[in-house]
């Protein structure tokens, strides 16, 4: 298996493969890929070129990309062309080529991420992905799952559903909103872990408050949970 990509490398590769393949922006990225992220973040000309790939609204500032992420113009053009091509042959495509096409996409994505395609599934969004993981555990009565009251609502709802179905115990902690240190947050989670804890959900960034949690400092939780 290939080493996992860093976030920066993943976004660069994904951009080159899917988003900017039909524009000169892929060349732009190659010209700047040697620059440190901090320096590139201040390059206004670079980001102006990136911005040109999107139809940005002029009557408001778009700050949210979680609920619905804006699609770049080259991607939208390819998407529309694909829909039109499928629409011409309708059910014939769905009963023949769709399966091969999905497998091609799956294998390309697996190669990009450095894993086997058998280890990867493509879902519609992050919510569906996390719900699939939560519901996919072989829960037993008395098992515990640990989460925070500030976690994303759809995930909390799925944990509640598993509790009704399998007798799962959900332990909900409260993340300090104004912690004195990162260790204070880590300790809150750590104290709630017991020998019955099978799954611990920790978000990197709380969507309600924007608070960033110290994920790197929580590595020892793996040891505590066994």
Query: pLDDT of 122-131, one tens digit each?
Result: 998 889 999 9
The answer to whether residue 7 scores a pLDDT higher than 80 is no
Query: pLDDT of 27-65, one tens digit each?
Result: 888 888 888 888 889 999 888 888 888 988 889 988 877
Per-domain residue ranges for the chain? 7-89, 126-225
* Statement: the pTM of the whole predicted model exceeds 0.75: no
The answer to whether residue 12 scores a pLDDT higher than 60 is no
pLDDT band at 22 (very low <50, low <70, confident <90, very high): very low
Phi, psi values for residue 179, rounded to 5°: -70, 150
Please write down the HEC assignment for all residues of the chain: CCCCCCHHHHHHHHHHHHHCCCCCHHHHHHHHCCCCHHHHCCCHHHHHHHHCCCCCCCCCCCCCCCCCCCCCHHHHHHHHHHHHHHHHHCHHHHHCHHHHHHHHHHHHHHHHHCCCHHHCCCCCCHHHHHHHHHHHCCCCCCCEEEEECCCCHHHHHHHHHHHHHHCCEEEEECCCCCCCCHHHHHHHHHHHCCCCEEEECCCCECCCCCCECCHHHHCCHHHHHC
* CA gap 147, 170 in Å, rounded: 8
Q: Which of 51-60, 61-70, 90-99 has the lowest mean pLDDT?
A: 61-70
> In this structure, is the dihedral angle defined by the CA atoms of residues 15, 16, 20 and 25, taken in order, positive or negative?
positive
The answer to whether residue 3 scores a pLDDT higher than 80 is no
**Residues 206/66, Cβ–Cβ less than 8 Å:** no
Q: What is the pLDDT of residue 75?
A: 86
CATH architecture of 126-225: 3-Layer(aba) Sandwich (3.40)
* CA gap 36, 130 in Å, rounded: 32
Query: pLDDT of 166-189, one tens digit each?
Result: 999 999 999 998 999 999 999 999
């Amino acid at each position: 298996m290939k080493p996992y990509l860093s976030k920066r490398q993943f976004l660069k590769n994904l951009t080159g493969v899917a988003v900017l393949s039909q524009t000169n922006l892929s060349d732009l990225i190659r010209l700047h890929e040697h620059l440190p992220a901090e320096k590139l973040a201040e390059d206004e000309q670079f980001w102006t070129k990136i911005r040109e790939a999107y139809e940005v609204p002029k009557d408001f500032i778009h700050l949210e990309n979680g609920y619905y992420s804006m699609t770049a113009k080259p991607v939208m053009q390819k998407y529309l062309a694909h829909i039109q091509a499928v629409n011409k042959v309708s059910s014939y495509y769905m009963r023949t080529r769709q399966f091969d096409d999905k497998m091609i996409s799956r294998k390309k994505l697996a190669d990009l991420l450095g894993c086997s395609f058998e280890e990867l599934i493509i879902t519609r969004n992050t919510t569906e992905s996390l719900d699939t993981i939560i519901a996919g555990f072989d829960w037993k009565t008395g098992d515990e799952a640990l989460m925070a009251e500030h976690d994303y609502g759809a995930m909390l709802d799925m944990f509640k559903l598993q509790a009704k179905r399998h007798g799962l115990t959900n332990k909900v902690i409260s993340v300090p909103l104004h912690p004195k240190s990162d260790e204070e947050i880590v300790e809150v989670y750590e104290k709630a872990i017991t020998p019955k804890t099978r799954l611990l959900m920790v978000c990197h960034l709380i969507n309600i408050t924007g608070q960033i949690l110290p994920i790197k400092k929580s590595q020892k939780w793996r040891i505590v949970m066994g």
